A = this chain, B = another copy of it.
Amino acid sequence: MNSIAGTGKNRGKTAARDESTLRAGTQDALRNAILDGKFKAGQKLVERELCEFTGASRSILREALVSLEAKGLIEHQSYRGYRVARLSARKIVEIFELRSSLETQAAELFTERASDEEIATLNEALTELERCLVNFDLARMRATKERYYDTLFTGCRNEEIRRALANVADRIYYLRSRLLLDPTRREASLEDMRRLTSALTSRDRLAARSASLAHLEAARETVLQIMEQDDSETAFRAA
């Protein structure tokens, strides 16, 4: 149970990514716990408990918390501590608006700047996605999708856009698994990505833009539907 991020003695060896500093490792451990739903949305994060959980001292833990707050993953109130950030429907709309803006831009830039190798990687990832769909390998599907987008955002040669997108991506991460549960949506999403990939491969800027946009709008609609469902079941909302 203890020493998730490694203690002073064996630090950096327990964590998945061999982070160079304990702070980075602690931060990563907390981030993973949140993304995996181990700490639920709205849950209060008590410093003492997190120290036990991560094995880090309070100073380091607090630094990690500050960083996660800056990324919008947790929220802070003076003398009332941190809680896991909650996603309102409104927030989701905002995030999708930001994504619409930046991802389409990224797609456009990709058509002009990506290397042929990157385009090849994109197509390989797509093929793997199709295999995953047939085999119902959802875990691998998610990993592959990440590889796909990672290539896309690298190929657009803009670290700032990549960074801004990474920040919001973390916050809607847990929704992805929900999206993949719907078989209809799964097939539709793949069709969207086929169109996008094809446009990117032929370096057709306008087509890439519209494909990216269509994909995002469909995803947004599905997410909002899921939210509505959840709200009618367990009724907590933070408008």
Q: In the complex, which residue of chain B has the Cβ closest to the Cβ of A105? A: B101
Taken together, the copies of this chain in the complex come to: 2
Contacts of A159 in B (CB 8 A): 91, 94
Q: State whether the Cβ of A62 lies closer than 8 Å to any Cβ in chain B.
A: yes
Least distance between A93 CB and chain B CB atoms (Å): 8
Decide if B66 touches A160 in the complex (CB within 8 Å). no
Contact of A98 among B97, B160, B168 (CB under 8 A): B160
Interface hits, A65-79 → B, CB 8 Å: 66-67, 69-72, 78
Contact of A94 among B101, B104, B161 (CB under 8 A): B161
Q: In the complex, which residue of chain B has the Cβ closest to the Cβ of A171? A: B160
Q: In the complex, which residue of chain B has the Cβ closest to the Cβ of A68? A: B70
Q: State whether the Cβ of A43 lies closer than 8 Å to any Cβ in chain B.
A: no
Interface hits, A142-176 → B, CB 8 Å: 158-161, 163-164, 167-168
Q: In the complex, which residue of chain B has the Cβ closest to the Cβ of A70? A: B70
Decide if A161 touches B67 in the complex (CB within 8 Å). no
Contacts of A104 in B (CB 8 A): 101
A84→B41 CA distance, assembly (Å): 35
Contacts of A101 in B (CB 8 A): 101-102, 104-105, 161
Q: State whether the Cβ of A63 lies closer than 8 Å to any Cβ in chain B.
A: yes
A residues lining the B interface (CB < 8 Å): 20-21, 23, 59, 62-63, 66-67, 69-72, 78, 91, 94-95, 97-98, 100-102, 104-105, 109, 158-161, 163-164, 167-168
The contact sample of 25 A-B pairs, CB cut-off 8 A, is A20-B78, A21-B78, A63-B66, A66-B67, A67-B69, A67-B70, A70-B70, A70-B71, A91-B160, A94-B159, A94-B160, A94-B161, A97-B105, A97-B109, A97-B161, A98-B102, A98-B160, A98-B161, A100-B105, A101-B101, A101-B102, A101-B105, A101-B161, A160-B168, A164-B164
